A and B are shown apart, each in its own frame.
Chain A
Amino acid sequence: MINKLIDLLPIINCQEATRLTSLSMERRLSIKETIDLRLHLMLCSLCVQFQRQIHLLHTLMKNYPKIGEKQLPAETKIKIKKSLQS
């Protein structure tokens, strides 16, 4: 129903709306882009959901477990040391 409404009105589709959602995390949207996106989001709860989840993903990623410092294997260290001698 809502999708039909979006088709009838001069409003961007979900493909474009999700693209703009993602883009808004990389750079400031133009005024036209902002209006296009807001209008779509007012009518499309799925894209609102998408937006929420993309933001959540962003928050989660900041907490990706840092593995700490990786150890260069001992045999590789020996190999490199040898190569530095020659």
Chain B
Amino acid sequence: MSHPNTSAENWVDLYGDALYSYALKFIPQIDAAQNLVQETFLAALKNQASFTGQSSQKTWMIGILKNKINDHLRAKYKEVPASQLINDDAAIEGFFDHQSGHLAKEPQEWQLNPSILIENKEFWNTYDDCLSKLPEKTGQAFNLREIEQMSSSEICKVLGITPTNLWVLLHRARLHLRQCLETNWFSHDQ
């Protein structure tokens, strides 16, 4: 539904929350997310003529926001070359025996009932804690993949990495999260 007659200021009330929520999925930093929303509105105002009305005004603005998010993340991660990020063997050290490559610690049996667990706020707090211990990009890749269920190609585009890089990040995230949840949740839970 488009609102051709609404002024730019009304956009903030109409779409502000939606754009902000969208931005937060990719950029957890509140200030940065709010700035991007502001930039999006300013860009929309400037380029109002390019809005053809083929999509809804909201969709059009989300499109602008997506570009802003991409630029933001790309600039942010520029300093850390993907190769360096990926070839960091220390990241999986401790999970495997140095020489044999076998699992260093035995995974424990998890006693749980998923349907009860997902209602447990404390479990999700533990999860958030575990996630926050991951390098930012690794955690972000995992969240976009597993929570937002975005496709690999979409995530690669946003984070500016190759699929191979993404797979390495996801695997690393799974190793860490599995271990962290086991230590901080499942071994206390019984």
Chain A contacts to B: CB under 8 angstroms: 3, 6-7, 13-16, 18-19, 22-23, 25-27, 46-47, 49-50, 53-54, 56-65, 69-73, 76-77, 79-81, 83-85
> Could you say which of B52-60, B61-69, B79-87, B101-109 contacts chain A?
B101-109
Partner of B100, one of A3, A25, A72, A80: A3
B117 at interface (Cβ–Cβ under 8 A)? yes
B150 at interface (Cβ–Cβ under 8 A)? no
Q: A69-B17, A77-B12, A81-B9 are in contact. Are A60 and B102 (CB under 8 A)?
A: no
Q: How many residues belonging to B are interface residues under a CB distance threshold of 8 Å? A: 51
Q: Which residues of B contact A53 (CB under 8 A)?
A: 107, 110, 178, 182
Question: A26 contacts B107, CB within 8 Å?
Answer: no
Partner of B175, one of A18, A77, A85: A18
Q: A60-B117, A72-B37, A77-B13 are in contact. Are A14 and B174 (CB under 8 A)?
A: no
Question: B101 contacts A56, CB within 8 Å?
Answer: no
Question: A71 contacts B103, CB within 8 Å?
Answer: no
Closest 4 CB pairs of A and B: A13-B101, A61-B146, A22-B171, A15-B101
Q: Which residue of B lies closest to A7 (CB)?
A: B100
User: From DSSP, what is the main secondary structure of chain A's interface residues?
Assistant: helix
CB under 8 Å from chain A, chain B span 1-42: 8-9, 11-13, 16-21, 24, 34, 37-38, 41-42
Question: B17 contacts A65, CB within 8 Å?
Answer: no
Whole-angstrom distance between the alpha carbons of A17 and B37 in the complex?
43
Q: Mark B38-50, 1 if CB is under 8 A from A, else 0.
A: 1001100100000
B170 at interface (Cβ–Cβ under 8 A)? yes
Whole-angstrom distance between the alpha carbons of A69 and B124 in the complex?
18
Q: Mark B165-190, 1 if CB is under 8 A from A, else 0.
A: 01100110011011001100000000
Partner of B41, one of A25, A65, A71, A80: A80
Q: Which residues of A contact B118 (CB under 8 A)?
A: 60, 63, 65
Question: B107 contacts A50, CB within 8 Å?
Answer: yes
Question: A26 contacts B170, CB within 8 Å?
Answer: yes
B152 at interface (Cβ–Cβ under 8 A)? yes
Whole-angstrom distance between the alpha carbons of A56 and B8 in the complex?
46
* A–B Cβ pairs within 8 angstroms, 11 of them: A18-B171, A27-B163, A54-B174, A56-B114, A58-B146, A61-B147, A63-B114, A64-B124, A65-B121, A72-B37, A84-B12
Question: B38 contacts A80, CB within 8 Å?
Answer: yes
